[in-house]
Chain A
Amino acid sequence: MRKIKINKQNKMAIGFTALMLLPAILHFCIFYIYINSQSFLLAIRDDYGFTMKYLKMFFNQLGTSGSDITLALKNTMIFFVIGNFFMFPLALLFSYLLYKKIAGYKYFRIVFFLPSIISAVVMVTLYKNIINGPISELWMDFTGKNYMPLFLDSSEYALKFILLYQLWLGLAGNMIIYSGTMNRIPMEVIESAKIDGIGFWGELFHMVIPLIWPTLSTMLLLSFVNIFGASGPILLFTQGEYETTTIAYWIFEQSTSLNPDYNYAAAAGLVFTVVQLPIVFLVRYVNRKLDSGVEY
């Protein structure tokens, strides 16, 4: 690949490049820098001037067990752990099975991808109706009890059933990116390993994962840098009731309620962003250390 070198003699190129970069940079300045600086100001300033009130309020809540914030933090961590330590390997294995062309792989490729092209609104509505309808009826028949179990409308079950929903649909998460990358691995490399007698798991752990590592680590990195954003479709399920709220939903709730408390929500967001920074740098450091230097 060659690049066009830009210098003073090449005025046309300067103008062209500047024009090409302009829309993105302009948008960035207005909708990113300006809005985020406003967000920062909201956290430390209100109509009466600069104040630490909102930050103090937030830390106060954070120290109180059973408050909305601690609950949201706990639930967010649950979503994060399930997503990264359970669903991530499962989705990778699924992509590998498709790559190995297991029986019916074309059918699986379409069916398991359906949740990614169908709106969460539709999936959640159908899931709710199935759980509250047929599944609850089956539960009543099975246990012999004569009342509805409230799987989605009680603190005891609601979060578990939202997690179940995530697992049910999450198998094809990132499937497109994984299989796209796996299919780019040259056949000769795999063939030569097969002649040397590599098995099914050997191929996965010693060939495929190292070869697609740059992509994998990028995906992991992107999910790790969004720890506090891990959530399920809480709005669609419970609107944060029955102890299911997460940080992402809590901030949404604060900004869109009838009496929005922008300052308080911005203060909470600011704290989470600051806590996030060292995590980002740590993950990036580890990521660089593990870089295999091969890429397909």
Chain B
Amino acid sequence: MKFSLKKFLVGRNRYDKKSVRIGLAICSIVLFIWSLTLIYPFVWALINTFKTPMQFVDNSFNFPPEKWRFDNWEKAFTKLKVPLPDGTKEDLWGLIFNSFWYTFIGAFLGMVPCVMFSYAVAKYKFKFCKFLYTFSVIIMMIPFYGSMPANVKVFNEWGLTDNPFFLIGGMGCIGGSTWLIMTSFMESLPWTYAEAVFIDGGGHWTVFLKIMLPMCMPILVALYVMACIAKWNDYMTPYMYLPSFPTLATGIFRLDSTGYGKANRPVYFASILISVIPIFIVFVLCQDQIMNNVTIGGIKG
């Protein structure tokens, strides 16, 4: 596709009124400056990963550094250590490993009951169908502010705290918004293919697994990627419930105020940038899937 500067500068809006066109151009300029402030911290951090701690304290704006320190990126893997409750220490590779299983398995487990529940509510007519829908909406709207203490206490009692099986706690779907998005998508799917399968003698599972699930793929991918992003960035839950399995988000939070990370900021910045890369790649790959598929609609009931 040919890049047109004029199109880029004026945008695609076709308003005849000059005042509107000028107003939109000003909006673009303001947003552009705003966007620079969002990018600058990352550039600033990147520049400083190539400096010594002394150079950083001396002048963090200075670029290029007098002497390039590429080994800061290597040190991020060898020197940064997060202390664990049992006295051992986890390095950056360990944090990455924890982040991976916490994110990808956790998000997958969270999706399974939701898909099943939404499908049954969207496509099967049974006595409690309407009730389940309304009930779920009501649950969503009544937040229990004080359930955290009970959560901590019960999870401790059941031995789920500091245990990878903790992930089953996140498999809930009633009262979340994921099922709402999923149900509204599934309701809009045509049922004719399913009828054809029934006529050919196929069962409910065949329809669900072979016909409906593939048709739901766009929304499932979008929701899965969004769930992954949320899990990858979640620092609170692993911080509270999985102290022996720090993820990148929790690890980086703890490194900020302790040990080598506090003393050597350039190395710490390198670890921050490393933590961003994987989820950024996932997002770039699935950007269109997310942007075009997620709509929530109104809540009925």
- Chain A contact residues, CB within 8 Å of chain B: 1-6, 12-14, 16-17, 19-21, 23-25, 27-28, 31-32, 34-36, 38-39, 42-43, 94, 97, 100-105, 107-112, 114-122, 125-127, 129-130, 133-134, 168-169, 171, 176-177, 179-181, 183-184, 199-200, 213-215, 217-219, 221-222, 225-226, 228-229, 235-236, 247-248, 251-252, 254-256, 260, 262-263, 265-270, 272-273, 276-277, 280, 284, 291, 295
Contact = CB atoms under 8 A, between A and B. Distances in A.
Given A176-B290, A177-B296, A180-B295, A36 B117 contact: no
A13 B208 CA distance: 12
Contacts of B174: 24-25, 27-28, 32
A38 B154 contact: yes
A266 B146 contact: yes
Nearest to A292: B298
A39 B155 CA distance: 13
B149 A21 contact: no
A229 B41 contact: no
Given A103-B10, A126-B42, A276-B142, A3 B148 contact: no
B147 A39 contact: yes
Nearest to B24: A102
B61 A121 contact: no
Q: Which of A19, A23, A168, A260 has the most chain B CB atoms closer than 10 A to its own CB?
A: A23
A222 B140 contact: yes
Closest 8 A/B residue pairs (Cβ): A269-B146, A214-B298, A39-B150, A119-B233, A101-B12, A103-B11, A262-B149, A23-B113
B126 interface: yes
Given A4-B124, A117-B229, A101 B11 contact: yes
B150 A262 contact: yes
A284 B175 CA distance: 16
B279 A219 contact: no
A290 B239 CA distance: 42
A15 B113 CA distance: 16
B139 interface: yes
Interface size classification for chain B: 35 or more
A225 B256 CA distance: 34
Q: Which of A31, A32, A122 has the most chain B CB atoms closer than 10 A to its own CB?
A: A122
A236 B96 CA distance: 20
A5 B124 CA distance: 6
Contact of A21 (B45, B116, B153, B203): B116
B276 A122 contact: yes
Nearest to A28: B174
A17 B173 CA distance: 16
B249 interface: yes
B112 interface: yes
Q: Which of A118, A127, A276 has the most chain B CB atoms closer than 10 A to its own CB?
A: A118
A97 B252 contact: no
Contacts of A12: 203-204
A215 B297 contact: yes
B88 interface: no
Contacts of A254: 149
Given A43-B146, A199-B20, A121 B298 contact: no
Given A31-B172, A101-B13, A38 B150 contact: yes
Interface string B219-256: 00000000001001101100110000000111011001
